Amino acid sequence: MAGIKEKLGIAGEFFMSVGQAFTRRHVKEAIKAFGMIAAKYPNIQYLVACSDKYEPPVLEKLIGDCNIKEGRTAIIQTQYIGRDELVYLMNDTLAMVYVSDKEALGLPPLETLACGKPSVIADTPLAHELFGDEGFFVKDTNDPAAIAQQLSFIVERRADAARIVGLQKPYLERLSWSEHITRLFVMFDDVVNKR
């Protein structure tokens, strides 16, 4: 599986975004954010594994402009990553960047947390319900600087980032299959016993 990084052109550490790049997911702003810090971290890249759903499409030009400015492949774009490869990359990434204003339940940040890695996410009530009150939250999702601040925090304060991931882990345990099955059986018992 290690060959996936080489195949994609990832030379070392990296951030990543996955999924369809709708406006509400702020991939455009995340690319701009990474562009703001790319020169400061010349050995870090950003993998954008997203289909461009902006009207008109904007990601390819933003990525190209950033890479020209940096004189390197700072941002890598691909349309699709297979499930096994995705899990490998989630285990190796610095963080998932998934700054979505509206998600019923954004799975990529939860899957990344299950891999022991942080996610940069929008500061929403649902995000606090899922991840607790300590996290890499972005209040103004339209502001690339706000996203860049969280990315820099993760790079520069790794011990603090790891501590925050540790604080978030118990929230993830509430979403396990065994926990859901247990709750389902309790509901069934309640329904049957109330008859």
**Distance, CA of 185 to CA of 177 (rounded, Å):** 12
pLDDT at 105: 65
Q: Which residues of the chain have pLDDT under 70?
A: 1-2, 104-105, 175-185, 195
Tell me the CA distances in angstroms from 51 to 14, 57, 158, one per residue in order: 19, 9, 30
Q: How does pLDDT run across 100-153, given as a tens digit for each residue? A: 998 766 789 999 999 999 999 999 998 998 889 999 999 999 999 999 999 999
User: SS3 breakdown of the chain: % helix, strand, coil, rounded to 5?
Assistant: 55, 15, 30
Hey, what domains does the chain have and what are their CATH numbers?
3-193 (3.40.50.2000)
- Token look-up 């991840």 returns 131
**Distance, CA of 107 to CA of 194 (rounded, Å):** 35
Q: Is the pTM of this model over 0.85?
A: yes
**Of 35, 49, 39, 40, whose CA–CA distance to 5 is shortest?**
49
Q: At 149, list the tokens.
A: 């601040």
CA 166, 167, 170, 174: dihedral to nearest 10 degrees? -120
pLDDT at 28: 97
Tell me the CA distances in angstroms from 93 to 47, 56, 117, one per residue in order: 9, 29, 7
- Token look-up 């990315």 returns 151
**Distance, CA of 124 to CA of 57 (rounded, Å):** 27
